[in-house]
């Protein structure tokens, strides 16, 4: 009987809470287990720390839980050799130089590195600006260089990763289409809801649409729903803002008739995978998004959504969707079909599995760092 493999997942957040984890690798764990790979997850943050990390203040408690995270990582390093490989998401520890990353790469039998967005370019959160200079921006570069396999989620990020590693696979964030089911609610004659979903760190981009909504309200009645940042407010426009809840995530999204995904033209945006758009599209929600970055590959303009650049284009496409039920139905159906075919868990699960299997089954038992150093030494004739 073939021996089951063991994979240690080193990630920032607890399971089931962070979109960057839930809608990337976490949803493939059952598929890994069904194919002979036992998964053990070790988050840096406790659930308690996750609940306070973006809250203002509470510095002493944050420091305490950060120390807890570092102690947990020491324990992880001590047990790494008992696993067949490590799956690292973003970083091993958040601060300073890549010390823990270096130790993990040397101790692990193999490393798969999964990086989401151009996180090393992202602006700091409002709640934690003081610690932003302490964050280890070099950690991502180190892990990209020394992992056996690197997984990215956008073409822009793939270009960055390939400067450091030849074994790079671009897999977009994906959606479980068995859970995300369209309502098919496209009829006219009722008040529609324009919706946005995200977090407190990106809700500021929704303010780009306040003048758009003001122009639309001259002619049309509609509601605005904001999911994920309950403190969000426009300066003048009305909206309903609710927290994200795992138990009601899909039901909350299903309240949206038209999804919006505004983005500024900033360097780190080019690393974003279009996840918000994919969530709307999987539910058959017609979506209007900024024409930038990965949105060009996620949305076929006019077929599975709309891509816009100017305020006038935002007004025009949203007006069309507000007034034309047939267009909402056609674009919503096209969006659902595209997600099922290209961006669903079902369509991508074997790609994830093959990457992990290849990493766990490859090599001679040496760590990636040791193997790469040996290869370089051999190429120069200096290996004794």
DSSP for 60-76, please give it: HHHHHHHHHHHHHHHHH
| Residue 118: per-residue pLDDT | 61
pTM, entire model: 0.83
Evaluate whether 276 touches 253 at the Cβ level (below 8 Å). no
Specify whether the CB–CB gap between 226 and 239 falls below 8 A. yes
Q: What whole-number distance in Å separates Cα of residue 73 and Cα of residue 371?
A: 23
Rounded-to-integer distance, Cα 146 and Cα 370, Å? 10
| 363 and 253 housed in the same domain | no
Residues 134, 220: one domain?
A: no
Please say whether the beta carbons of 278 and 296 come within 8 A. no
Q: E strands within the chain?
A: 5-11, 37-43, 85-89, 111-114, 149-152, 168-170, 192-197, 222-227, 240-242, 258-261, 287-290, 306-308
Same domain for 165 and 261: no
Kindly state whether residue 285 falls inside one of the protein's structural domains. Answer: yes
Residues 212 and 118 in one domain: no
Considering the domain boundaries, does residue 258 fall inside one? yes
Among residues 204, 173, 199, the alpha carbon closest in space to that of 295 is found at 173
Q: Would you give the DSSP letter of residue 206?
A: G
Whether residue 29 is found in the same domain as residue 102? yes
Clarify whether residues 296 and 276 are in a common domain: yes
pLDDT at residue 242 tops 60 = yes
- The domain that holds 213 is classified in CATH as 3.40.50.2000
Domain for residue 384, yes or no? no
pLDDT tier, 326 (very low <50, low <70, confident <90, very high otherwise): very high
Do 27 and 162 belong to one domain? Answer: yes
CA 52, CA 4: separation in Å to the nearest integer?
37
Do 124 and 51 share a structural domain? yes
Range of the structural domain that residue 199 is part of = 192-342
In a domain, 319, yes or no: yes
Pair (306, 350) in one structural domain: no
Taking the mean position of all CA atoms in its chain, how far away is CA 148? Answer: 21
Residue at 184 is within a domain: no
| Spatial CB neighbours of 24, under 8 Å, sequence gap ≥ 6 | 89, 114, 116, 153, 173, 174
| 100 & 220 share domain | no
Whole-number Å distance between alpha carbons of 304 and 338: 7
Report the domain count for the chain: 2
Contact 23, 174 (CB under 8 A): yes
- 180 assigned to some structural domain: no
pLDDT of the residue at 134:
54
Residues 353 and 308 in one domain: no
Q: What is the pLDDT of residue 38?
A: 96
- What integer is the mean pLDDT of 61-71? 95
Length of the chain: 384
Q: Residue 218 class from Cβ within 10 Å (0-12 exposed, 13-18 middle, 19+ buried)?
A: exposed
Residues 15 and 134 reside in one and the same domain: yes
Q: Is residue 182 part of a domain?
A: no
pLDDT, tens digit, for every residue of 10-52? 999 999 988 789 888 999 999 999 999 999 999 999 999 988 8
Domain assignment present for 219: yes
């Amino acid at each position: 009987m073939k021996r089951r493999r063991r994979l240690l997942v080193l990630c920032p957040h607890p399971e089931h809470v962070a979109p960057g984890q839930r809608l990337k690798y976490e949803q493939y764990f059952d598929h890994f287990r069904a194919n002979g790979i036992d998964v053990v997850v070790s988050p840096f943050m406790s659930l308690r720390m996750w609940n306070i990390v973006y809250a203002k203040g509470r510095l002493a408690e944050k420091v305490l839980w950060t120390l807890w995270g570092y102690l947990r990582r020491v324990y992880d390093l001590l047990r790494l050799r008992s696993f067949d490989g490590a799956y690292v998401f973003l970083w091993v520890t958040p601060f300073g130089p890549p010390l823990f990353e270096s130790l993990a790469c040397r101790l692990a039998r193999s490393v798969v590195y999964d990086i989401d967005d151009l996180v090393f370019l992202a602006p700091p959160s409002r709640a934690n600006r003081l610690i932003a200079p302490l964050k280890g921006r070099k950690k991502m570069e180190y892990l990209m260089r020394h992992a056996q396999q690197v997984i990215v989620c956008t073409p822009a990020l793939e270009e960055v990763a390939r400067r450091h590693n030849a074994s790079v696979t671009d897999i977009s964030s994906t959606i479980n289409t068995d859970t995300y089911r369209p309502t098919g609610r496209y009829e006219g004659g009722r008040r529609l809801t324009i919706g946005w979903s995200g977090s407190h760190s990106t809700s500021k981009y929704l303010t780009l649409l306040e003048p758009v909504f003001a122009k639309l309200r001259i002619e049309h009645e509609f509601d605005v729903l904001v999911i994920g940042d309950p403190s969000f407010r426009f300066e003048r426009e009305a909206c309903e803002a609710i927290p994200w809840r795992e138990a009601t995530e899909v039901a909350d999204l299903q309240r949206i008739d038209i999804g919006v995904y505004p983005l500024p033209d900033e360097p780190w945006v080019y690393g974003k995978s279009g996840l918000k758009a994919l969530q709307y599209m999987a539910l058959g929600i017609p979506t209007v998004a900024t024409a930038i970055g990965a949105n060009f590959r996620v949305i076929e303009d006019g077929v599975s959504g709309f891509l816009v650049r100017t305020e006038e284009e935002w007004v025009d496409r949203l007006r069309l969707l507000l007034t034309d039920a047939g267009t909402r139905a056609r674009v919503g159906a096209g969006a659902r079909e595209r997600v099922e075919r290209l961006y669903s868990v079902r369509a991508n699960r074997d790609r994830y599995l093959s990457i992990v299997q290849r990493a766990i089954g490859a090599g001679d038992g040496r760590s990636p760092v040791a193997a790469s150093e040996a290869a370089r030494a051999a190429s120069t004739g200096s290996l004794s």
